[in-house]
Structure 1
Amino acid sequence: MQDVTVVRTSVQPPYAAHLRVYEPLAAYPEPDRARWQAWAAEHGPDAAEPAQPVAAAVLEEQREALAGLAARTPRALPERESGRAYLRLVDGVLYVCPWATRLRSWQALEELRAGAPVALLDTALPPVARAAAEADRERWRAEHPDARPWILTSRWEVPVHWFLPFGDEDRCFVPGGEGPGGEGPVDGPGGGEGRGGRPAALFYLVPMAQARRRVARAFRALREAAPDGDLVRGAERVGRWLEEFHPRSLVELDYGGLVHLLGPERLLADRSAGELEEGLRALRAGDTAEALRVHGELTVRWRRVLALRHAN
């Protein structure tokens, strides 16, 4: 028998945040409903209570994606849609957020094509591969005209308008925990992860009805005060996206890999959703100066985080 070398690696998710919708199991048609139910029965939920993050499952998704890129024949896009989902159990109800990896990969390709230099794009993904992916997507769209992603992703920042569905009371910060052997946390650039323990997480979780109500109120106030502003356009985009899902869904904003970028002190101090709420209250009360101050400070703070993508 040949000697086998086992290489153990530590994978952290990329510096990206995620906005997710978890629909109740009953909202899914068959055979999807039976598939998710069977998966939950075999593997259990990723989060069995509202205050528990799905960070471990996020790492699993990242490892699966890296395995595809590191294969003998690297795959720029998945050949078939993922059969996995994030599962949350709240008050005895199972909520499902499908990974929809293939659909999200197509969207990421569109973003790359819109923002990357042509030379870099051609090197990373040759024109022939892009054309094949686009043709594949058009065929898929014809068969799934109402398809929409359950997950939106933002790299290197949380867009300010993503905080609109949430309040400070919806915030949950879980520090990196100790491993089963008692090992302490590993502090990298940010919150770290315990060796063998749970990864750090910062997320917001709220019922869909409350999320829609907050976004609608914010949109009305912003449209009257600044109809051409970025925040009002962001509120409209988020509001339209939320309307695509079951009214009894859950909405989650997950800082994802940004916890490793921001660091424990900044995570503990971060109250972005609450600050945006304060600014909107000031705006509805007619205190435009205070609303502008709050929004300006929040925007500048997240632009500083975004600027880190250019650091070496």
Structure 2
Amino acid sequence: MAKLARGARRNIPPTAYLRVYEPLRAFSDEEQLLIAAQREGGREAFETQEVVDSLERVTRLVSDPFPHATAERFRTLHYPGANGLTVAYYCPDQLATRATLAAEQLNGTMRPQLLEVLVPDPARAANAERLVHEDFAEDVARLHTRSATWGIPFGWFVLLREDDHCEIVEDGERIVSVRLCAPTAQALERARYAAASLAVHAPELDMLDDLTGLSEWLQLFHPESIVELDYGRTAELVWPDDSPHDIRLGIESLAEGDMLGAAASYRRLASRWLKVRQLARAS
């Protein structure tokens, strides 16, 4: 299965994820039972299974990209605690909800004929019947995972710093992913500081709205949660990556009125990610 997953990853567009992991007590009794039943698998086994499941969905004989499983699955993050011991945090995959939202977002961005091939109306109708609408509405309101393909939104880098907890996942000599993590309280403080600086010195930048949205999103979760930036296969294209440092330096330069320093930081950042976007157009 691991070999199949490695091959599949190479054919999937590089996708990064911003996730929020909550402590066990933030979940219902039913969810805690599901978490306890899944603890044995481990994070990398989860990621491998996710890639294999994705491949199976897109290669079905009858076109239907939606997941059919109903039981929620949870990623586990082990984050260093104050006493030196790691503490487990959990992120529900919410795959059915995310797949439904992704299919809806294709409307208006794709020709109807192509959309019908990729997401046929019968598959869409069957997926709607499988959804528990109360659970779907709750997941939409508190979606734990955000994703970005062929790049990472610059606002995400505001939440993390280069000296935060970092995990590099490798397969032989190849980087599979890089994951930066920090407490949501720190991430919120960073987002608010950056938003305040932008509001005063560069209110026209789209990042101001992005940071406002990220701050509102992070406040939906337990105050002791952990936020994770998972580069995914994007790490292969940019790591080692100075983006968190460049974003921080740019924001600090703005706050100090150093417009030249802020512009230089932005140029480094934009140049780095322009290369990734050019690869997207080339593919």
The TM tier, using the shorter chain, reads 0.7 to 0.9
Cα distance, 1:201–1:80 mapped onto 2, change above 3 Å: closer
In structure 2, list runs of 5 or more residues that go unmatched: 80-84
1:45 and 1:89 in contact (8 A); partners too? no
Secondary structure of the residue aligned to 1:200 is: strand
**Which is higher, the Rg of structure 1 or of structure 2?**
1
Secondary structure of the residue aligned to 2:199 is: helix
TM score, norm. by length of structure 2: 0.85
* Deviation per residue, 1:262-293 (Å, 9 max, x gap): 1xxx412x110011000011011111232133
1:222 and 1:232 in contact (8 A); partners too? yes
Q: How many residue pairs align between the two structures?
A: 271
1:128: how far off? 4.8
1:71: how far off? 3.3
Secondary structure of the residue aligned to 2:77 is: strand
1:303: how far off? 2.8
Aligned to 1:146: 138
The percent of aligned pairs where both chains have the same amino acid is 28
Cα distance, 1:142–1:37 mapped onto 2, change above 3 Å: closer
Letter in 2 for 1:227: P
Aligned to 1:298: 269
1:11 and 1:59 in contact (8 A); partners too? no
Aligned to 1:64: 53
Distance 1:204 1:71 in 2: 35
Letter in 2 for 1:87: T
Aligned to 2:189: 213
RMSD between aligned residues: 2.5
Does residue 241 (structure 1) correspond to residue 207 (structure 2)? The answer is: no
Distance 2:106 2:234 in 1: 20
TM score, norm. by length of structure 1: 0.78
Letter in 2 for 1:271: D
More helix by share: 2
Q: Which residue, out of 202, 205, 212, partners 1:226? A: 202
Letter in 1 for 2:247: L
Cα distance, 1:68–1:126 mapped onto 2, change above 3 Å: closer
Structure 1 stretch displaced more, 278-287 or 217-226: 217-226
1:171: how far off? 5.9
Aligned to 1:282: 253
Letter in 2 for 1:12: R
Secondary structure of the residue aligned to 2:78 is: strand
